[in-house]
Copies of this chain bind each other. A is one copy, B any other.
Amino acid sequence: MGRGCGDCAARERAICAALPEPVLDAMYRMGRTELLRRGETLMWESDEALVVGTVRSGLLKLTASLDDGREQILGLAFPGDFVGRPFSARAGHCVTALADTRLCVFRRPSFDGFAREHPALEHALLGRVLDELDRARRWMLLLGRKSAPERVATLLLEIAERGGGEPGERVTLPLTRQQMADLLGLTIETVSRNMTRLKRSGTIHLPDTRSYVILDAAALALRSGG
């Protein structure tokens, strides 16, 4: 696949879907495949953002932090998701791998120029960013107004839904308890306590610490607060 990241870009479900062939070809030549090991960081909150990219496999977190180290996860990037901040020098958040992750990476200036010349790409990007904004705003409601039990219930439902499995199926949890806490604006202890509370009430089953089964979806939805 030469210098670019051919089959990588070609298989992106969101950004590249619906792009005409010649546009895709040109994109191939711009992109490079990059491997990010668990824990490594693609870009920093305060640095100039030199790249954008799409996730091929693995999982990334976007985070922002306060001076004293308090951290908030702003979102996760699953395979197919776009990361980085086009048209701006600063991303405003860190991007770090939660698992070994393969990316298709573009230098930002080239990507910006390319996007400006290809409305189909900008249209796809716009749809993607609008979805992301919706998700961020729903999360603002959770962070601003939901109680700890509601937050945990919401997260479990969301992940189960995102995975798309049958109700009653085993869901794999791609996050540690600490990462759940960082996503929910809680502490690890509070997350843990609420998980065991859900377990004891028979709402969920916990085969191991990185997966769960929803036993009573209605009860979980009730606890999620709407």
* Chain A residues touching B, range: 35 or more
Say if the beta carbon of A139 comes within 8 Å of chain B.
yes
Partner of A126, one of B64, B67, B125: B125
Assembly stoichiometry (copies): 2
Kindly supply a per-residue 1/0 record for chain A positions 135-149, scoring 1 wherever the CB is within 8 Å of any chain B CB and 0 otherwise.
011111101111000
Q: Is the CB of A64 within 8 A of B122?
A: no
Partner of A226, one of B68, B123, B146: B68
A-B contact pairs, 14 of them (CB 8 A): A66-B141, A66-B145, A66-B146, A66-B225, A71-B145, A72-B145, A75-B137, A88-B130, A122-B123, A133-B136, A136-B137, A140-B140, A140-B143, A144-B185
Q: List chain A positions with a Cβ less than 8 A from chain B.
A: 62, 64-68, 70-72, 74-75, 85-88, 92-93, 116, 119, 122-123, 125-127, 129-130, 132-134, 136-141, 143-146, 184-185, 225-226
